Amino acid sequence: MPELPDIFVLANSMNAALQTKVITDAQVNQPKCLNVSTIKFKKYIKRRRIESIRQRGKWILGQLDTNWILAFNLGMGGEIRLHNRDERPDAERERVVLILDTGEQVWIHHWWFGHVHLLQSKDLANHKQLSKLGLEPLDDTFTVEKFSEMLRGKRGRIKSYLLDQSFIAGIGNVYVQDTLWYARLHPNRTANTLTHEEIKALHSAIQHVLKQGIRFGGGPGEQDIWGNPGMYSKHLQVGYKTGKACPRCKSIIEELRVGSTTSYICPKCQL
């Protein structure tokens, strides 16, 4: 499932490739991924110029020139790729295809639970999923003090809060692994047992790992709009490295279940 760094990289590449271009038509092969009818979708995106594209949590928001927003979510995984006018999309695979005034095409593919939503800017705060997203962890408003306030009185596992999109938007099970390792925290630690210094370390780790993910182009299996692959998997410290040596203390990395997710930890560094 794409996470914040992957979506940030994809959104930035989409902004670079698509900004100022005009959508002239659309091919909808999977109507159920839309939040409106196919007729309405095509009617309101035709002849609309793409003004900007940005990331919000695990969503991509494309601002059109008439206060309409195209909101993309790749669900459990997928791609948004730019293709030339001579290529033919596979209707069985590509959920939605956008045709541009340049003749280029944007192919939108996702496996499960993906969305291509159309909404007006004024309705963004009422969108069923987007309205529930928590703070952006790379935003200036996400300070140590704010994070400490958010965790106050929380009795659940710290990993569960980090993965809760209504708490913090964008972190998933790939980037949470090294985040907890850098912070020296066990994923089962209850949030209300963290000291101020541990909260400070966790805040720093969150931002460091997410920025690393962006720096290296996204995580395993992720691509930008041109198909450039993410390379962050080469920089994982403990994530998905069961049986390997911890980079810090050389203890053997263990794999365990935390709730419904798998975790990878150093049993000596993470307490």
Neighbour-count burial of 242, counting CB atoms closer than 10 A to its CB (0-12 exposed, 13-18 middle, 19+ buried): middle
CATH class, range 144-265: mainly alpha
Contact 68, 41 (CB under 8 A): no
Superfamily of domain 4-132: MutM-like, N-terminal (3.20.190.10)
Task: Tell me the two tokens of residue 83.
Answer: 């293709």
Task: Kindly state the DSSP code that residue 63 receives in the 8-state scheme.
Answer: E
Contact 104, 86 (CB under 8 A): no
Rounded-to-integer distance, Cα 8 and Cα 218, Å: 8
Task: Kindly state the DSSP code that residue 237 receives in the 8-state scheme.
Answer: S
Task: Tell me the two tokens of residue 165.
Answer: 């999109």
pLDDT by residue for the chain (271 residues), tens only, comes to: 899 999 999 999 999 999 999 999 999 999 999 999 999 999 999 999 999 999 999 999 999 998 999 999 999 999 999 999 999 999 999 999 999 999 999 999 999 999 999 999 999 999 999 999 999 999 999 999 999 999 999 999 999 999 999 999 999 999 999 999 999 999 999 999 999 999 999 999 999 999 999 999 999 899 999 999 999 999 999 999 999 999 999 999 999 999 999 999 999 999 9
Structural domain spans, the chain:
4-132, 144-265
Task: Kindly state the DSSP code that residue 253 receives in the 8-state scheme.
Answer: P
Rg (CA), the chain: 20
